[in-house]
Amino acid sequence: MIGPATVTAEEARAWRPEIPDVFNSADIQLFYSGTIPQLGPMEPMVEVGVGYGRSLLWAHELRRQRCHLGATLGVDNFGEDFRRWSKVAVPCRCHLQWSALVKRMAGTVDRPPLLMTCASLEAAELFEDGELGLVMIDASHELPDLVADIAAWRRKVRRGGIIAGHDWCDEWPGVREAVVDQLGGSVQLFGTVWAFEL
Ligand SMILES: C[S@@+](CC[C@H](N)C(=O)[O-])C[C@H]1O[C@@H](n2cnc3c(N)ncnc32)[C@H](O)[C@@H]1O
């Protein structure tokens, strides 16, 4: 069962102000605060769509506080979609964004989360079915992309594990449509985060 958030939205927003928020990351932070304690200490988890790393680093720190040894992995291709999301006026090149993110992570924690700089569907192929305890999808919010992402990643989550995603809201009607198409109507909502226990 997904537990209640253990921090307030204000606390989530106040955490590490130097890491930019792409779009309402606080909802993911709150969700992680209730979910990560449910993960087994050795279980790997994946966040698809890392952006500046705000929600991934938060997850990583929560896991480290609990002495979890399971990998916390982030997947991002830092491509066109990142340029759309980012508030950077001059579009940055993917490899520069990646370097900045690695540096930020390395500078703030002694064992940074693992980054897979590739497309979501390519990354999904690298995992065994049922291998993951939690997958958070916050990559493309377009209907066909998210349908494909949910189909690919849900198989990678163990029975009883959680597949979740961000931006169940009016701005992104494709998110609701894709989630209902793939998982039916019984998803749980935590602010703008949707979640399904498999
Ligand atoms: C909304 S941002 C993620 C924000 C982050 N979860 C947070 O709250 O701090 C979406 C990210 O998904 C990435 N993305 C979009 N489509 C992708 C794909 N097909 N494969 C991998 N990453 C993708 C973009 O590059 C962008 O950085």
- Domains of the chain are 9-197 (3.40.50.150)
Helix-, strand-, coil-residue percentages of the chain, each rounded to 5: 40, 15, 40
| Strand order through the sheet with 157-165 | 114-116, 72-75, 45-48, 132-137, 157-165, 193-197, 188-190
Tell how far the Cα of 106 is from the centroid of ligand 1, in angstroms.
20
Going through 65-112 in order, the beta strands assigned E by DSSP cover: 72-75
Tell how far the Cα of 68 is from the centroid of ligand 1, in angstroms.
25
Q: 159 versus 106: which is more confidently predicted?
A: 159
If pLDDT is split at 50, 70 and 90, which confidence band does 36 have? very high
The amino acid at residue 170 is D
Tell how far the Cα of 77 is from the centroid of ligand 1, in angstroms.
8
What is the per-residue burial (b if ≥16 Cβ within 10 Å, else e) of 78-93?
A: beebbeebbeeeeebe
pTM of the model: 0.92
Using CA positions, which residue lies closest to atom 6 of ligand 1?
50
Q: How many other C-beta atoms lie within 10 A of the C-beta of residue 140?
A: 23
Q: 146 versus 109: which is more confidently predicted?
A: 146
Tell how far the Cα of 135 is from the centroid of ligand 1, in angstroms.
13
Tell how far the Cα of 139 is from the centroid of ligand 1, in angstroms.
4
**Atom nearest to 120 CA in ligand 1:** 20
> What are 30's two structure tokens?
């709150």
The amino acid at residue 21 is D
28 lines ligand 1 (CB under 6 A): yes
Ranking 23-27, 91-95, 158-162, 171-175 by mean pLDDT, the lowest is 91-95
74 - beta bridge partners? 47, 115
Q: Which residue, among 66, 53, 63, has the nearest Cα to 107 in the 3D structure?
A: 53
**Atom nearest to 119 CA in ligand 1:** 20
Question: Which mutation among 30, 45, 82 tests ligand 1's pocket best, with the greatest number of atoms within 8 A of CB?
Answer: 82
> What are 139's two structure tokens?
């990559």
Going through 50-112 in order, the beta strands assigned E by DSSP cover: 72-75
pLDDT at 67: 87
Question: Which mutation among 138, 168, 192 tests ligand 1's pocket best, with the greatest number of atoms within 8 A of CB?
Answer: 138
Tell how far the Cα of 82 is from the centroid of ligand 1, in angstroms.
6
If pLDDT is split at 50, 70 and 90, which confidence band does 106 have? low
Average pLDDT, the chain: 88
